Amino acid sequence: MAFTLASIHIYPLKSGAPLALKSATVESRGLARDRRWMIVDADGRFLTGREYARLTLIRALPNADGSLHLDAPGKSGLRVAVPDARGERVATAVWGSPVSPLLADEATNAWLSTFLGLPVRLVHMDAECVRAVDAKYARAGDKVSLADGFPLLLISQAALDLLNSKLAASVPMLRFRPNLVVAGTEPHAEDGWKRIRVGDVEFDVVKPCVRCVFTTVDFERGERDPSGEPLRTLTGYRRGEKGVTFGQNLIPRGRGVVRVGDAVTIIA
N- to C-terminal Cα distance for the chain?
10
pLDDT(2) > 80: no
The 3-state DSSP class for residue 240 equals strand
Question: pLDDT at position 147, please?
Answer: 98
Work out the average pLDDT over 230-259. Answer: 97
Give the dihedral of Cα atoms 161, 167, 170, 173; nearest 10 deg.
-50
- Per-residue pLDDT of 91-146, as tens digits, reads 999 999 999 999 999 999 999 999 999 999 999 999 999 999 999 999 999 999 99
Q: How far apart are CA 58 and CA 55, in angstroms?
A: 6
| Structural domains of the chain sorted by starting position, each given as residue range(s) with its CATH number in brackets | 2-31+133-266 (2.40.33.20), 37-124 (no CATH)
How far apart, in whole angstroms, are the C-alpha atoms of residue 151 and residue 201?
14
What average pLDDT score do residues 50-70 get?
A: 96
Average the pLDDT over 1-19 and give the result: 95
Rounded Cα gap, residues 223 and 268, in angstroms: 40
Tell me the pTM: 0.96
Mean pLDDT value of segment 31-41: 98
For 181-190, write each residue's pLDDT tens digit: 999 999 999 9
Query: How confident is the model over 197-210, as pLDDT tens digits?
Result: 999 999 999 999 99
Question: Using CA atoms, how far apart are residues 52 and 34, in angstroms rounded to an integer?
Answer: 20
CB within 8 A of 18, min separation 6: which ones?
Answer: 9, 10, 11, 174, 177, 219
Q: What is the chain's mean pLDDT, rounded? A: 97
Instruction: Reply yes or no on whether the pLDDT at 1 is more than 80.
Output: no
